[in-house]
């Protein structure tokens, strides 16, 4: 007898094995169903709070835009009022000056009893002219005001849903010229700014959402990765064997007394932070992921990696309390792994098998993990690691970063530019 489900010979052992496989597949479907149901009908306080926070962030941006727009209108009105007052004062001052000349002439002639009919006519004409100038001052000032009913108020702010595919056709909201040099770069972002490290120049610069640049002194060696601790409000930079913290409020860089348990020849390669914790991966086959308390930078936990693999990038998604990893093997096969806080693999998706490393970034508005292939190709793996889609960007993208407070995605382009996108 042939099983209609898998078209193999039917037996008792086959039946049990087949039912077990079907049960596992059903479990995955039920899990996907539960995830979707939670998104559609949030029941847990955390999910509802997460949705409320996202909605609140958008409303705050609109409220800030409203405040700034009203402020600009008030400033424009105040400037126009000042200009009108200045023009009227200039006319009044000139009339006063001319009036004093006529008044002095009349007073002098009257005291000397030295005037004739022509003088009286001239004074009368001059006084009438001065009076006319004073009364018609406002008529010589033209106000060029756009009537409210002619302003397309709805076009000043538009709401649209950003999609990953939009990056292929969208123009950046801002382009900032920078210098990469050669040898690669590193990027890392806080909620309001990001830092850019050019390896060949050993230069570290900070940028805000407007593209304004601030140079940070750096002479501590090559930076291999950058992450940010929102609990401590500081950037964390890792070199081959050291960890540094940069506080953007006082511009101080401090070396941390980290105590690793890995062999000295292994280099720190990638880093990410969770609340009060720092995780580091290494650039060596069969190395491990280590977790450090950021209060004293003492290692408290580690997870082994397969002897034929190493973790090229590790990132933490605070919204889901999960990790994303780019894992490479000796045959240059790359995969993306979604893991929980215990580093258990929840799902994985195969990537390409090039020799080039991949860059990984969490982008909450895109509801996924952005993976850069070190060329024009960008891949978006959805937040639950069940689907992926790729696009070809117009330029070669080296790295990317995301400023959460402004929903601003920044692509660092090979031709020495940062491309800003409001998403």
Supply the pLDDT for residue 14.
59
The pLDDT value given to residue 174? 92
State CA 267 to chain mean position distance: 29
> For residue 54, what pLDDT band results from cuts at 50, 70 and 90?
low
Q: What is the reported pTM?
A: 0.64
Q: Looking at the predicted structure, is the pLDDT value of residue 4 above 60? A: no
Instruction: Judge contact between 273 and 229, C-beta under 8 A.
Output: yes
Residue 47 has pLDDT above 60, yes or no: no
pLDDT at 321: 92
Answer whether residue 300 shows pLDDT above 90.
Answer: yes
Mean pLDDT of the residues in the chain: 87
Buried b (16+ CB within 10 A) or exposed e, 226-249: bbbbeebebbbbbbeeebbbbebe
Identify which has the larger pLDDT, 369 or 9.
369
Q: Is it the case that residue 17 has pLDDT exceeding 80?
A: no
When pLDDT is averaged across residues 280-287 and rounded to a whole number, the result is: 94
Q: Which residue has the tokens 């123009």?
A: 171
Average pLDDT over residues 127-156: 84
Average pLDDT for 90-105: 90
Closest CA to 394 of 53, 76, 166: 166
Which burial class, exposed, middle or buried, applies to 16 when counting CB atoms under 10 A from its CB (0-12, 13-18, 19+)?
exposed
Q: Are 169 and 378 in contact (CB under 8 A)?
A: no
Greater confidence (26 vs 340) lies with 340
Q: How many CA atoms lie within 13 A of 113 on its CB side?
A: 0
What gap in Å lies between CA 20 and CA 94, rounded to an integer? 99
Angle between the 45-112 and 117-135 helix axes, to the nearest 10 degrees? Answer: 180
Predicted confidence at residue 238, as pLDDT, reads: 97
Lowest mean pLDDT across 37-51, 104-118, 120-134, 173-187: 37-51
pLDDT > 90 fraction of the chain, expressed in percent and rounded: 52
Q: CA 236 to CA 247: how far, in whole Å?
A: 9
Q: What is the pLDDT of residue 102?
A: 87
Please identify which residue in the block is written with the tokens 């997460």: 50
Contact 96, 88 (CB under 8 A): no
pLDDT band at 39 (very low <50, low <70, confident <90, very high): low
The per-residue pLDDT for range 235-263, each reduced to its tens digit, is 999 999 999 999 988 889 999 999 887 77
Query: Residue 316's pLDDT band (boundaries 50, 70, 90)?
Result: very high
Q: What is the pLDDT of residue 340?
A: 95
C-alpha closest to that of 268 among 238, 297, 291: 238
What pLDDT does residue 217 have? 85
- At 165 the pLDDT is 84
């Amino acid at each position: 007898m042939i099983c209609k489900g898998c078209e193999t010979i039917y037996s008792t052992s086959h039946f049990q094995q087949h039912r077990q496989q079907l049960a596992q597949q059903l479990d995955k479907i039920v899990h996907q169903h539960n995830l979707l149901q939670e998104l559609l009908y949030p029941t847990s306080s955390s999910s509802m709070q997460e949705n409320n926070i996202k909605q609140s962030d958008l409303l705050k941006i609109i409220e800030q835009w409203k405040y700034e727009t009203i402020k600009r209108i008030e400033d424009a009105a105040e400037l126009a009022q000042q200009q009108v007052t200045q023009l009227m004062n200039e006319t009044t001052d000139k009339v006063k000056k001319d009036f004093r000349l006529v008044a002095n002439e009349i007073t002098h002639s009257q005291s000397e009893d030295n005037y004739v009919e022509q003088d009286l006519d001239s004074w009368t004409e001059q006084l009438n002219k001065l009076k006319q100038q004073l009364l018609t001052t406002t008529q010589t000032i033209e106000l060029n005001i756009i009537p409210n009913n002619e302003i397309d108020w709805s076009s000043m702010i538009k709401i649209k849903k950003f999609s990953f595919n939009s990056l292929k056709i969208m123009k950046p909201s801002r382009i900032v010229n920078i210098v990469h040099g050669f040898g690669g770069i590193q990027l890392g972002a806080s909620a309001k700014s990001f830092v850019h490290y050019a390896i060949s120049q050993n230069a570290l610069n900070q940028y805000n959402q407007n593209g304004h640049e601030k140079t940070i002194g750096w002479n501590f060696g090559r930076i291999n990765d950058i992450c940010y601790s929102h609990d401590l409000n500081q950037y964390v930079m890792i070199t081959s064997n050291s960890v540094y913290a940069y506080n953007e409020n006082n511009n101080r860089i401090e070396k941390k007394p980290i105590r690793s348990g890995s062999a000295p020849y292994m280099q720190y390669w990638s880093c990410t932070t969770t609340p009060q914790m720092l995780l580091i991966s290494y650039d060596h086959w069969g190395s491990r992921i280590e977790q450090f308390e950021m209060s004293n930078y003492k290692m408290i936990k580690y997870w082994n990696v397969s002897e034929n693999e190493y973790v090229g990038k590790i990132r933490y998604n605070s919204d889901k309390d999960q990790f994303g990893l780019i894992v490479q093997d000796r045959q240059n096969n790359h995969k993306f792994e979604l893991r929980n806080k215990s580093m258990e693999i929840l799902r994985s998706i195969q990537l390409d098998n090039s020799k080039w490393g991949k860059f990984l970034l969490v982008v909450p508005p895109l509801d996924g993990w952005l993976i850069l292939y070190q060329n024009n190709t960008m891949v978006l793996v959805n937040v639950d690691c069940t689907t992926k889609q790729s696009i070809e960007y117009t330029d070669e993208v080296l790295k990317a970063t995301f400023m959460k407070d402004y929903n601003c995605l920044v692509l660092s382009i090979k031709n020495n530019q940062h491309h800003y996108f409001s998403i």
